[in-house]
Structure formats: structure tokens, C-alpha cells
Structure 1
Amino acid sequence: MALSGKLIGYVDVSKDSDVFHEFFRHDPRKMIAITPDRVHDCELLEGERGAVGSIISWQYTHEGKKKVAKNIIESVNEKNHMIVFKVVGGELVDELYKRFTIIFHVEPKGDKQVAAWTFEFERPDTSVPYPISLMDYICNLTKDLDAHHITK
């Protein structure tokens, strides 16, 4: 029996979808300078930065521990500024989950913008928790990036 799950987080942001789409797809290395306590490196391992099929290795600190996640850009929707990352290596899939996908997009909410993060995952058994602290981490990272752009 599969223990599939989905977790969605929303963050009100002051900037439009283009800013965040650029960060997470084309220029993620800027995050290292903005949030060095959270993101330490973002290395392109294969393909062209931002292209579907490219593989990226992220080094970050979560819950006080340095971690690695290797992601492949599975799909991109330019119109909706959506990026789908499939996690193919690192602690998330090597030690915890059978499958883990991260979907990011920014959507209008009235006269504001909302960054939406969706985690789709499969747990091997009930002892593996829902990735709530990881969602908190990514939402707080988004807030930090947005705050940086408010001051610029």
C-alpha cells in the first residue's frame, strides 16, 4: 500500500512571479548571497541552467544539519511561472521518502501575489513523518528572498 501525500504551503509575496521564477529556475545562485545560513551551494551537474532535464545539486542547512538534494527540472510552465523539481538524490529520497516532487509557482490573490509550494511524496511506512518542517523551511526561505527584494 502506497503512503502518498501532498503538502501545500503559501507565502504572500510583494514581488511578481517573474522575480521568483528567475530565482528558482535561472539564477538560484543569488540565494547563496541572500540567505547564506540556509543555502550554501547550487551546482549545475548536467544540462543547461533552467532547462527541463537539467540536474542541480543543492547544499543547504535544515534543522541545524547540512544536507544535499539533487533535483532534476521535470517541467516548466512559462505562462504560469511554474517549475516542477523531482528530487533524485540526497537525504529526502535516499533516506526518507520513496518519491519526492517539489512544485513552485506564484499566483495572483486579489491585488497581491502568493508563492505556492507543493510537495508530492510517498512515504515507505508510517514512521516517516510528513515533511512539515521542510515546508516551513522553504516558506521561510521565500519570505527571506521577498524581504531582500523589498529593500532593493
Structure 2
Amino acid sequence: MSLKGKVGTEIEIKSPPEKYYNIFKGQAYHVPNAAPDHIQGVDVHEGDWETHGSVKIWKYTLEGKSGLVFKEKVEYDDANRSATLIGVDGDIMQEYKTFKATYQVVPKGTGSLAKLNIEYEKLREDVPAPDKYITLMVNITKGIDEHITKA
């Protein structure tokens, strides 16, 4: 059984791709307002809101468990409207040696297609694939989409 893997999904959203990507690129502080049931806070630990390589600390709820923390270093790909959050510390890192969550958005019709992926390496064979984190990413994306389209 392989410890490395990749999981992902795609969902259609109403938001224009630039507005969705810009939330991750420089306005991540809006995510707790857009998805308060899932994200309770995000703070810059190193760098700033929009610089490649900045480090942020997210406080989140997963499957009813609140008070979880994810410390990530962000990589931006402006050409592909993609933000990759690379886990460096936090609750996730108790189960995964590597954890890279990517939010990418591409134009589709009058809205966009959000492509959500996680590349990971488990610490042990008994650790499940991070499907619950893909569900979290979907819920965050839906919240961001609603936040953008009602604004």
C-alpha cells in the first residue's frame, strides 16, 4: 500500500475566476467571514497576505471538531490562477508527512470551475486518504463563492 497519493474534485461556481483567485492571492482574511462554520480565523505568521512564500496559520473546524490549526506556506501561480497551501505544522501534520492543498480556478461559461486537489504522504499506513479535507475545501469554496456573488 502506497503512503503517497492525490485526491481531488471539481465544482462549478458562479464567481468570476479573478475574484475567486484574488481571495487566496491577497484577501485570505475574508475566508472566515465567507465560511465561518469551517474557518474561524487566519493570521499571517511570516510575510504578508499576498507574497509567494508567506506563512499563514488557519483555525478551522472539521467534522464537528473545532480548534484545529493548519500552518501553511503559500505558493501562487498567477498564470493558472492557482494557490497551493503547503502544510508546515498543525493538526494535519500529525497524520501526514507532506500535505499540499491546491485551489485552482478556470473560466467556465459565465462563472468558473474550481479544481481542488491534495497531494499527500501519510505518516503511517493506517492513516486514511485526506477525503475529509477535500470536503472541507469544497465547503470553503462554496462559502467564498456565495460571499463573492452576494457582494
1:30-60 deviation digits (Å, cap 9, x = unpaired): 1212222211110000012221111000001
Aligned partner of residue 79 in structure 2, secondary structure:
coil
Contact 1:2 1:124 in 2 (8 A): no
How does 1:93-108 map onto structure 2 within 5 Å? 93=93, 95-108=94-107
d(CA) in 2 for partners of 1:34, 1:136: 16
- TM (norm. structure 1) is 0.90
- TM, length-normalised to structure 2: 0.91
For 2:146 and 2:101, the matched residues in 1 are separated by 22
Once residues 77 and 34 of structure 1 are traced to their aligned partners in structure 2, the CA distance between those partners, rounded to angstroms, is 23
Q: Please state whether the residue corresponding to 2:80 is helix, strand or coil.
A: coil
Question: Which sections of structure 2, spanning at least 5 residues, go unmatched?
Answer: none
**Count of residues in Structure 1 that have an aligned counterpart in Structure 2:** 150
2:151 is the alignment partner of 1:134: no
Contact 2:99/2:120 (<8 A) preserved? yes
Letter in 2 for 1:117: L
The answer as to whether partners of 2:28 and 2:49 remain within 8 angstroms in 1 is no
Report how far residue 151 of structure 1 moved. 2.4
Q: CA deviation at 1:2?
A: 5.4
Residue type of the alignment partner of 1:120? E
Considering only aligned residues, what root-mean-square deviation do their CA atoms show, in Å?
Answer: 1.6
Counterpart of 1:18 in structure 2 is 18
Would you say the 8 A contact 1:17–1:105 is kept in 2?
Answer: no
Alpha-carbon distance between aligned partners in 2 of 1:69 and 1:23, rounded to the nearest angstrom: 18
Instruction: Name the % identity.
Output: 27
User: Amino acid of the residue matched to residue 143 of structure 1?
Assistant: K
> How far does residue 81 in structure 1 lie from its aligned partner after superposition?
0.9
Q: Per-residue deviation at 1:110?
A: 5.4
Query: 1:98 aligns to what SS in structure 2?
Result: strand
Cross-structure match for 2:77:
77
Moved more, 1-10 or 33-42: 1-10
Q: Is the 8 A contact 1:81 1:105 kept in 2?
A: yes
Separation of aligned partners in 2, 1:28 and 1:146: 13
Please give the alpha-carbon distance, in whole angstroms, between the structure 1 residues aligned to 2:140 and 2:53.
Answer: 24
Q: Alignment partner of 1:20: what SS? A: helix
Post-superposition offset of 1:83:
1.4
